[in-house]
Structure 1
Amino acid sequence: MTTSPIALGEPTVGASELAQVQRVFESGWLSGAGPTCARFEKAFSLISGVAHTVATTNCGSSLHLAQRVLGTEPGDEVIVADYTFPATGHSVMWSGAQPVFADVRADIWSIDVEHAASLVTDRTVGIIAVDPFGQPADYDELRQLTDRHGLWLVEDAACAAGASYKGRPTGSLADIASFSFHGRKGITAGEGGALSTDDPELAGHARKLHTYGIAPALSREGAATLPVPAFDELGYNYRMSDVQAGIMLAQLDRLPTLVARRRAVAERYRELMDDIEAISLPVELDDRVHPYQSYVITIGPELDRGAVALELRARGIGCNFGTYASHLQPLYGDQPALPVSAGLFASHLAIPMHANLTDDEVARVSAVVREVVGLPSTRA
């Protein structure tokens, strides 16, 4: 049996991505918001089930743009799912508003809608739901809540490209959705992000703000005169480069295959490890398609998660904690206790999940997990 290390995550890239990059090089337009970005945005809108996509530098910049165009102002409060990478809460602070963290469901780890409802005040302007590790949150119930109080709804779909909720693709489940194409994500250009929406005014405003507050240069190509844009609003440089967009076009072609392989890996993990009492495996609800950006197990209280992680790494199995209980991070100051999120933060452990995993590697990971937690391997 091979003893080569098995990586926690790994991108699937190759000749098709190189061919798209070559095409961008030959076009002569490598910088941001160019013709290749426009092609990517059109393609991504199709898979997200929306009319408009704006390609961005990353998910954090997309979340910031979303709040800017939705009118978030200093002094406002935004309810945020607590169990998430802190970029979600950071984006609220970048907008000058205050993140108010809501606890999460114990089974699928997304925002607890009832707890979120209890946090609404006269300063609340919106809710940012998170699709933890790719599985969508409860968007029908969230929409009922936001409609009842006149709030906006943003989907942090950083991990959720290729996922769906009740037959609807991520990207189409809220007023605006924000995606990440970081190297650990299911599709990647190393970095990058996207903002998706059906609202043409929101999309147009986001496009203006992501280019310093003016229309991108591509919109002025071929003009009969010499257009000189005027800066009338503070914007940012949140543009994806055309080189990244070329890579993303190839990744979009791969997306169905990549999601299918990750789901097959998750199913095989379940077959091999669902009888281990010392750990719990992730739950996928019947009305959602989970793309498994990460595969996160819950370590039982009788085990030391740190010791388990170190032993797995010593045996060549990549692993890491899941994600953050945001309310525990010092940046946010003293926050009310959120016991479910805090418990997940303390007990979650991500094990290898990517589309390049072989069946033998999945079996090896499972066997080592069984050995480390004290249950001998009884399955082939």
Structure 2
Amino acid sequence: MTIPPTIPLGRPTVGEPELAAVAAVFASGWLAGAGPTCRRFEARFANLTGTAHALATSNCGSALFLGLRALGVGPGDEVVVADYTFPATGHAVLQSGATPVFADVRPDSFCADPAAIEAAIGPRTVGILVVDLAGQPGDFDAYRAIADRHGLWLFEDAACAAGATYRTRPAGSLADLAAFSFHGRKGITAGEGGALVSDNAVLIERARKTHSYGVAPAFGRGEDVPVFDELGYNFRLSDVQAAILGAQLDRLPSLLAARRSVAKRYTEAFRELDAVEVPAELPDREHPWQSYLLLLAPELDRGRVLAGLRARGIGCTFGTYASHLQPVYGRQRPLPVSADAFRRHLAIPMHAELTEEQADRVIDAVRGAVDA
């Protein structure tokens, strides 16, 4: 049997607009990080996220770390972290010298459960770091109420959430700070990259200084010789990447529409399939569908299903991590909902380049793999 070409799990939508934007940067002579193209992208991205300020960074992990540093997080502190997430979230807390305390997630959205957050707060807790799973925001009104009640800051890991909303408010505007990713599988991409956004100018300026070795970036700094009075890092986004992201922002409405069309097609096809549960799209949110995660029936062997899909030419993988099970974080208390999702979630192709015919081929392959 001849297997058709593989349908990839993710694929960026890039072409002539991105090439033209890069050519303009080449012509400008400023390719380095934190330059004029970065500043223009930051202004546009702040507008998209409904915030006053944005800082372009090398990736989402650096945005998370810079945000925690700007908040003053350090040794002896504890941060409550949503458990079901790529470990970059917990890693940023460890890199800050603090301790992540993981909170379990809701069994429908797999975003942090407000009751679990409340239960995880202790005398050393300084803040709450929640995750928009697959881009869909969690219960931010409840998170804010908990943070305010305990005098804590609230940080949104919005890595996958560009273009998402919660009760009409854009992802990024839902917390004191938010961090985004522009990795190749995200809704908009420059291959890599990130952003930190906030209405708090002081926090963003602290982050801006430390993201450039501890001094103001060269663009717009003036002629005075900079003085290094604190430790900083090189977490700048290049102007070449910023140019690509500017073109991607122009595409964002059509990219979101294409992903939502695929998600609707998947959900309609899989809703009546007993072997899987379709992802919840909560009614007061706009889901950007960075990933489409099916929850397999408990009796199914996910490894066998993955192998069956790959044999049929379908890109696929597990969902994301139950962070508390990762050895880097040491001994953690059990978090059953997150652990169960880690065992059963299956990610199938989701990107704006999927045709209807490809989506139907994915649907047929999933049906075949779970019945095999």
- TM-score normalised by L of structure 1: 0.96
Match of 2:314? 317
Q: What secondary structure sits across from 2:245 in the alignment?
A: helix
Equivalent AA in structure 1 for residue 204 of structure 2: A
1:355 to 352, 356, 371: 352
Deviation readout 1:227-247 (Å, 9 max, x if unpaired): 101011111111000000000
SS of alignment partner, residue 129 of structure 1: strand
What secondary structure sits across from 1:78 in the alignment?
strand
Percent identical among aligned pairs is 62
Q: Deviations over 1:88-119 (max 9, x none)?
A: 00000110000000000000000011111011
Length, aligned pairs only: 371
Q: Residue 219 of structure 1 aligns to a residue in which SS? A: coil
Instruction: Deviation per CA, 1:277-330: give whole Å up to 9, x if none.
Output: 010010000000000001010110121110000000000011000000000001
Give me the whole-angstrom Cα distance separating, in 2, the residues matched to 1:372 and 1:183: 27
- Which residue number corresponds to residue 83 of structure 1? 84
Counterpart check, 1:254 vs 2:251: yes
Segments of 4+ moved more than 6 angstroms: none
Gaps in structure 2 of 5+ consecutive residues: none
Q: Which whole-Å CA distance do the structure 2 matches of 1:254 and 1:169 have between them?
A: 17
Asked if 1:107 is matched to 2:104, the reply is no
Q: Displacement, 1:2? A: 8.5
Task: Give how far 1:270 is off.
Answer: 1.2
> Equivalents in 2 of 1:104, 1:210: separation in Å?
32
1:1-380 mapped onto 2 (5 Å cutoff): 3-220=4-221, 223=222, 226-374=223-371
Distance in 2 (alpha carbons) for counterparts of 1:48 and 1:7 = 29
Question: In the TM superposition, what is the alpha-carbon distance from 1:371 to its structure 2 partner?
Answer: 1.6
More deviation, 341-350/116-125? 116-125
Q: 2:320, 2:342 within 8 Å by CA — same for their partners in 1? A: yes
- Give 1:370 deviation, angstroms: 1.0
Checking the alignment, whether the CA contact within 8 Å between 2:118 and 2:146 is kept in structure 1 is yes
Deviation at 1:83, TM superposition (A): 0.2
What is the CA RMSD across the aligned residues, in angstroms?
A: 1.1
The answer on whether the counterparts of 2:67 and 2:196 sit within 8 Å (CA) in structure 1 is yes
Q: Distance in 2 between matches of 1:261 and 1:324?
A: 27
Structure 1: gaps spanning 5 or more residues: 376-380
Give the whole-Å Cα distance in 2 for the aligned partners of 1:304 and 1:50. Answer: 44
Letter of the 1:227 partner, please give it: D
- Name the CA distance, whole Å, in 2 between partners of 1:274 and 1:2: 27
Q: Which amino acid aligns with 2:84?
A: Y
Separation of aligned partners in 2, 1:115 and 1:373: 33
- The secondary structure found in structure 1 opposite 2:317 is coil
Offset at residue 219 of structure 1 (A): 1.8
Q: TM-score normalised to the size of structure 2?
A: 0.98
Q: Are 2:3 and 2:312, in contact at CA under 8 Å, matched by a contact in 1?
A: no
